[in-house]
């Protein structure tokens, strides 16, 4: 029986604008998505039948609600192949944190089964399959830096925004994507997404920090003021900018210097347990 190890990377939203609610109840968005070096480690091993999911994080569901399970079911239904898989998940990305940890695990599973079952699907094929699992899955397969439109599935690759220092602070609150969307206000001005992308193309990190924005932040912060406190601490300790990622509650700070990031880490770790140093990739 063959084994395969895959790194499953998280992502942040450097900008997230929600335009309107569609007739299918999804929301039309414009976002700039960025992969980060914080990752889960997944080990896939073939077994005779069924699926077994194990994790070192006891809070992670390992039943049919897990996107790893759903990805396996989807690939079975598409291909007609009914082979078993054992998946061990070393979980480093916080759960329900706005960092696409579950989507990334689902994407990794599609990639693993494509290899182990010798399907020869292209990345584009896997992205189309991934959309049926969740709006963030196609980006997790694509990786890097991208502008996302539609519900997140219309992706345009952007100039890489690599090797930027990112500090993540997660207050330990679980916020579902559905709940976050239910709380947002769709009124107000549109964000300058094109301006942000222009700053990124010039590699002007200070300009990027000023243009970072999220439609979800206001409503979630009003109910969870600790998110605003994490932002304040990051900026007071050297972050060029700080923003809640995705549906939250994780806050990321963008730094131009590793020493400043380390200083902010040392302050935040006294306040919350889940603080992570990473980079954009």
* Residues 19 and 132 grouped into a single domain: yes
The per-residue pLDDT for 219 is: 81
What is the domain extent for residue 235?
Answer: 165-279
* Residues 105 and 194 grouped into a single domain: no
> How many other C-beta atoms are found inside a 10 Å radius of the C-beta of residue 56?
12
Domain count, the chain: 2
Question: Over the chain, what is the mean pLDDT?
Answer: 95
- Is residue 56 scored above 90 in pLDDT? yes
The per-residue pLDDT for 184 is: 86
High-pLDDT (> 70) share of the chain, %: 100
Q: 37-46, 109-118, 134-143, 167-176: which range is least confident on average?
A: 167-176
The per-residue pLDDT for 126 is: 98
Catalytic-labelled residue, pool 17, 39, 136, 164? 136
Q: Encode pLDDT of 216-238 as tens digits.
A: 998 899 899 999 999 999 999 99
Cα separation, 87 vs 123, in Å, equals: 21
Give the long-range contacts of residues 152-160, CB within 8 A, separation 24 or more.
152/29, 152/31, 152/33, 153/127, 155/127, 158/32, 158/197, 158/200, 158/201, 159/200, 159/201
Cα-Cα-Cα-Cα torsion 93, 10, 16, 252, nearest 10 degrees, comes to 60
Average the pLDDT over 64-79 and give the result.
Answer: 98
Cα separation, 162 vs 183, in Å, equals: 32
* Residues 212 and 130 grouped into a single domain: no
Residues 189, 279 contacting (CB under 8 angstroms):
no
Average the pLDDT over 32-38 and give the result.
Answer: 98
The per-residue pLDDT for 205 is: 98
- Is residue 73 scored above 90 in pLDDT? yes
Greater pLDDT, 34 or 25:
34
* Residues 24 and 134 grouped into a single domain: yes
Annotated active-site residue 136? The verdict is yes
Catalytic-labelled residue, pool 11, 74, 91, 164? 11
* Residues 15 and 52 grouped into a single domain: yes
Average the pLDDT over 58-83 and give the result.
Answer: 97
* Residues 18 and 56 grouped into a single domain: yes
* Residues 182 and 275 grouped into a single domain: yes
The per-residue pLDDT for 10 is: 98
- Is residue 82 scored above 90 in pLDDT? yes
- 3-state DSSP call for residue 10? strand
- pTM metric for this prediction: 0.94
Annotated active-site residue 257? The verdict is no
Among residues 123, 157, 191, the one where a domain terminates is: 157
Average the pLDDT over 116-134 and give the result.
Answer: 97
N-terminal to C-terminal alpha carbon distance within the chain? 32
Residues 31, 39 contacting (CB under 8 angstroms):
no
Average the pLDDT over 42-70 and give the result.
Answer: 97
Q: H-type helices in the chain, by residue range?
A: 67-79, 101-116, 123-131, 137-142, 177-183, 193-201, 205-211, 217-223, 225-236, 258-268
* Residues 122 and 198 grouped into a single domain: no
Q: Identify which of 30, 175, 215, 6 has the alpha carbon closest to the alpha carbon of residue 104.
A: 6
The per-residue pLDDT for 70 is: 98
Average the pLDDT over 171-198 and give the result.
Answer: 88
What is the CATH classification number for the domain harbouring 259? 3.30.70.890
High-pLDDT (> 90) share of the chain, %: 88
The per-residue pLDDT for 61 is: 95
């Amino acid at each position: 029986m063959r084994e395969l190890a895959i790194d499953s990377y998280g992502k942040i939203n450097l900008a997230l604008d929600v335009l309107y609610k569609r007739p299918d109840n999804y929301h039309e968005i414009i976002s700039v998505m960025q992969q980060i070096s914080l990752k889960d480690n997944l080990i896939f091993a073939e077994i005779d039948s069924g699926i077994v999911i194990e994790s070192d994080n006891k809070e992670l569901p390992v039943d049919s609600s897990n996107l790893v399970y759903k990805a396996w079911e989807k690939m079975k239904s598409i291909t007609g192949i009914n082979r078993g898989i054992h998946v061990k998940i070393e979980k480093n990305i916080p759960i329900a944190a706005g960092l696409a940890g579950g989507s990334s695990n689902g994407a990794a599973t599609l990639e693993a089964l494509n290899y182990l079952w010798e399907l020869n699907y292209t990345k584009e094929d896997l992205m189309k399959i991934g959309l049926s699992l969740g709006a963030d899955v196609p980006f997790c397969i694509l990786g890097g830096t991208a502008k996302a439109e539609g519900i997140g599935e219309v992706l345009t690759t952007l100039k890489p925004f690599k090797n930027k220092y990112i500090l993540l602070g997660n207050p330990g609150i679980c916020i579902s994507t559905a709940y976050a969307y239910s709380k947002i206000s769709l009124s107000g001005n549109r964000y300058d997404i094109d301006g942000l992308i222009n700053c990124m193309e010039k590699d002007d990190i200070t300009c990027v920090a000023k243009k970072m924005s999220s439609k979800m932040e206001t409503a979630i912060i009003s109910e969870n003021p600790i998110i605003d406190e994490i932002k304040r601490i990051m900026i007071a300790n050297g972050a060029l900018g700080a923003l809640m990622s995705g549906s939250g509650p994780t806050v990321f700070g963008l730094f131009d210097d590793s020493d400043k990031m380390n200083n902010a880490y040392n302050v935040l770790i006294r306040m919350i347990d889940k603080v992570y140093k990473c980079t954009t990739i």
